[in-house]
Structure 1
Amino acid sequence: MSQRVSSLSSRTSRLRTRAAVLAAGLGASVVLGAGVAAAADTGVAALPAAGTANAVQAQAAAQAKAATVKKAAAVKHAAAVKKAAAKKAASWIDPVKKYTLSASFAQAGGMWHSTHSGQDFAVPSGTNVMAAHGGTVVKAGGNGAGDGPAYGNAIVIKHGNGTYSQYAHLSRIDVRVGQIVATGQHIARSGNTGNSSGPHLHFEIRTTPNYGSAIDPVAFLHAKGVKV
């Protein structure tokens, strides 16, 4: 009888031990699951989302910086273009390129009624003639544009401050009276028309649009920074 009771007691004890182990395992699983869930709720699973947000913010900042740099460059370029245009508008240039100076201002000779009224630039016929400064065409045509046949085909441009420039002995005139021209703009082709001993451009600086008011054009251009 006592042996049976002892056996039963031993079997009951083993069952209790197994139940305790199972309960402990189940509790550990529950605790572990809760921990994983808590970790997911508090940041572990959220790390990729946070990294993406940081990357988006960094990209947005880089794009904003690039846009600012591009805008600053555009503003700087526009300012440079405006400055260059203003400088060009304020400057004077030679009326032709690749020339040789021939008859000069106030030079005496049998080719002129008194003394030479301008500066001659010896160039081949057909050479590009440019406006020495921006202004408005006030004379253009044959017979010296009204100043006499000795000038041949001629142009007179009015500039600011009571200054005029004249271009004579032209083979072709490519502007009209009233036209506004810019510094360096093509206005004609050089030639050998009128009282001329060879192809060249006769260039004058005047204080009025008419013959008789010429001043030394080389000295004038030197004062404007042009190396004639």
Structure 2
Amino acid sequence: MLKRTKSHRPGPSMFRTRAAVIAVGLGASAALGAGVSVAAGDAKSGGALPGVAVNSVKAQADAQAKKADAQAKKAADVKKAAAAKAAAWVDPVNNYTLSASFGLGGNMWSQKHSGQDFAVPVGTAVESVHGGTVVKAGPNGAGDGPAYGNAVVIKHSNGTYSQYAHLSQVDVRVGQAVGTGQRIALSGNTGNSSGPHLHFEIRTTPNYGSAVDPVAFLGSVGVKV
């Protein structure tokens, strides 16, 4: 009689074991592939995720460009303001009361009044009405006579001269360049003066006798006195 032999086919547990091994292998391969992909992305982007570094650099570049534009605009505004100030004319003093006017007659003057008087307290800041160069400065009317007391005369680029008299203090010297609105002296009561004030003239030359109406002149350059 023939003997039956036992089948050697793998049992269910063996199939499950093999399936698990295969699954683990596939998982490892997938994980390894993903790791390689991320690593490749890191290598291209400098260690960050793809696209992140590029966006960061662009943002920084945009911020720097905006900052540079803002700085350039600020510099242009400053330059424009300086140019406007250089072109402007201003009052010689602030917070004043007009007193004796140009061409006024009387026993206070040997001839008619040659300027415009601004009544202000002694020690009030006196400012250059426009940029220019100091051509006279000092006592005795800066050479125009003792009636003016301490005085300053400034030459301007348009060929006119401004004169400031009866000063208590002179803060500039001959040859000095001054800007529009720059303090050049302090008002006073020196010379032939009936009280604290600034005597102001506009001249066609640096010397006495060439004065024109200073209020009319200032009005022609945009300064309402």
Would the TM-score normalized by the shorter structure come out above 0.5?
yes
Which letter does structure 2 place at the counterpart of 1:208? T
- Note if 1:112 corresponds to 2:109: yes
Which residue in the other structure is 1:165 paired with?
162
CA separation of 1:40 and 1:205: change in aligned 2, threshold 3 A:
same
Query: What is the SS of the residue equivalent to 1:52?
Result: coil
- Note if 1:130 corresponds to 2:127: yes
Q: From the two aligned structures, give the one with the greater helix fraction.
A: 1
Alpha-carbon distance between aligned partners in 2 of 1:190 and 1:120, rounded to the nearest angstrom: 11
TM-score (ref. length: structure 1):
0.88
Could you say which structure has the larger radius of gyration?
Answer: 1
Shift of residue 154, structure 1, vs aligned partner: 0.6
Post-superposition CA distance 1:71-127 (Å, at most 9, x none): 111111101100110111111100100000000011111111111000000001111
Post-superposition CA distance 1:16-65 (Å, at most 9, x none): 7766665555444434433433344345x767886634222222111111
- Note if 1:33 corresponds to 2:28: yes
Alignment of 1:3-82 (within 5 A): 5-6=3-4, 8-10=5-7, 12-13=8-9, 15=10, 22-42=17-37, 52-82=49-79
Which letter does structure 2 place at the counterpart of 1:108? G
Shift of residue 66, structure 1, vs aligned partner: 1.0
Alpha-carbon distance between aligned partners in 1 of 2:102 and 2:21, rounded to the nearest angstrom: 116
Alpha-carbon distance between aligned partners in 1 of 2:158 and 2:27, rounded to the nearest angstrom: 95
Q: Report the count of equivalent residues.
A: 222
CA separation of 1:216 and 1:29: change in aligned 2, threshold 3 A:
same
TM-score (ref. length: structure 2):
0.89
Which residue in the other structure is 1:150 paired with?
147
- Note if 1:185 corresponds to 2:182: yes
CA separation of 1:189 and 1:20: change in aligned 2, threshold 3 A:
closer
Which residue in the other structure is 2:197 paired with?
200
Give the unaligned 5+ runs of structure 1.
none
CA separation of 1:32 and 1:97: change in aligned 2, threshold 3 A:
closer
CA separation of 1:35 and 1:192: change in aligned 2, threshold 3 A:
closer
The percentage of counterpart residues that share the same residue type is 61
Post-superposition CA distance 1:116-158 (Å, at most 9, x none): 0000000011111111111111001111111111111110001
CA separation of 1:35 and 1:213: change in aligned 2, threshold 3 A:
same
Alpha-carbon distance between aligned partners in 2 of 1:22 and 1:195, rounded to the nearest angstrom: 124
Pairwise CA RMSD: 2.2
